[in-house]
Structure 1
């Protein structure tokens, strides 16, 4: 910022940020609202313009809203996605100036001092903002002033532009709530007859300070430029990348691995300083003919140990075509996760590390998502008692706990002949004639009523552990509601 240059601030307010985000992805006709759970009741969180025209408003209970507007379409709000969308808008707004920060959960603030002339002036800049936001189907209100407080007030209560040095003249007619006051303070001021900022400015300051504290006059002074208020842009996330330019081209795999080792030492030092670990590493090799080849390494666990990471690059580096030589190598941690320092056991740490390295090595050939593990699930239904998840993105849990023995193999129920509530003495299964030698049971399992599963529509099941004379150890069940016998598993 140059000395003597008048500071200019833009405030963008998105009053329907959440609903606009949802409707951009899935347009709907008619009234629409997002709901949020508050105090044991669903309340309106955000709504579109048509819903407001029907008399609905934020904070209204969902039941009352449906009574006023039977055609209302609604869905639960996703505040995390709204926050990510606002961050996308923040990055987009950096096209106008480098200083862009958040203004609450539904607004942005931009310090455009010295940048408006790049767009033909302030009026042309604001027109460009409105045009692009309107094209993106986003409802936005924009204010421009000398201070952050003035820009916020104009965006929320005036949507206008205050000429440099004339803040009080523009803001004097705005309500006192435009000073970013809480509802209680704004209501108390209105009861005293102080309804506008002009009324507040013309009142003695000492009585206001005694009654409302210093925050009221601080907000007034910030809006009128008597007290500075900074705009703090969101810092960009750190980038973990290192590069090496070679004086002479190289082409041997051993030379590339030696250079990669030096880069890994530097990169892992940066990761350790921030207690982070790399999950995806990209090694880019630039040849002398300006062509580049990339070796991507996806790790089963976040790592910052150069000695463990380096051997995992060997297979990818061996397949590189060096051409007439490689003159530049760049290593980047494309995906980084938190990896705080923690106490580990000298007995188990090595075993876990070797398993993670093995998963990484196999994953480079068939993909990490194709290496899966079984995890226990909290359900007494046999089909729902386990989960299958990628081993690289899950942790091995404790031992399996089963009150009754479970078969090693489970499959879809296969019907067999038999009548009565006890296992049949003779039955045929998979083209084999079997006879029961010993039967243990029954173990009655009831369906989980809160889940819909067509395989359990028959109701209760009585499970039996059956040992046959032919050596098969099977898991049979009987359905009392619809009499029938089925085989669902086989013990080892």
Structure 2
């Protein structure tokens, strides 16, 4: 077996103000080995069972030192047993060089011997080897069985048994702010410590976060004569599981910049609402497979957090024969993969409906609303000249059963004959003639329509 003993500054030390909490440090260690335990002031890791997975002991130790939250503040020691590693660590923290053999370790580095140091010193015992040389029966009668058992564990004659750290099922952490935060940047600065803890928890659980909530409580109940709620919160959702916090931090910065604080905050709390199993991206050595920039869903989420949920929209095809009803607009975040799926989301998503395929002669640009055209002898007129109909008619009669609603209001049923017309400058236009059975023209009133004079409309332009 091979044990590592790690020690950072204590929580009350000024140097530890920016460090994660002790609980988060244990989650960080769980990313390397499942056998992690806090023993007094040190974090102990047993790494012999997982060295092969990391490419050997040297590669594992190098990875641990590189990912250490505070490289300049960490004190570490190694040994074959947990108590021996802890004893070597205590000597290094005190500024003494530990001996090569376990027998030469001083007694004050063994926790079980500390209450009896005075008596043992009068007996001439000042090291682990001298204590181990005493008769075990008399040692147990004089000092109790705990001292002898601790010595057996430290020398490898008894198994190491500790309360192993286990990451909880859900992440919830709160933090008292060092001073009241009255602005979004001040709140975000304190949130980074919780985000670091969240990243360690996700790595320990092999999960990625899909939704989380940041809440902050106030230091007062009333402000300017108005009652305040107990807390204020914002919720973030991502299209794909996220384990690194750079993207989450950018989203929080955008949301907090748009969220006015009701009062100065005194404490914050971060909790996960939804997580999913983490699958790391497959690496490729081909240059064309290397990602460049942020993925599309991250760009959409960042713009949505900055401008609002409905500021960025995307078209959605619809199954409708009316040209103006073949698409609708929705928030771009709702069109991202994974939205509407999973716990806490809309599990009963609307079934996908195949969209109507545009005809081969349909134009690429539609006018909304269609523009009415004048007539000369029953022929449409555009820009003072009569149009020449070169293709058509194509009859569309639809919408009378659905009562569809478009972005600008309800869409009436239509009965039209579409033509491709040519103007004076040889431009191609898409026009239609209302049939007498039509209830109304798109975007125009129908009260002044004459039954014997069907109206003409310009509906599309060809490139």
TM range (shorter): 0.3 to 0.5
Greater helix proportion: 1
Larger relative contact order (CA 8 Å, sep ≥ 6): 2
Give the TM-score taking structure 1 as reference length.
0.39
Give the TM-score taking structure 2 as reference length.
0.41
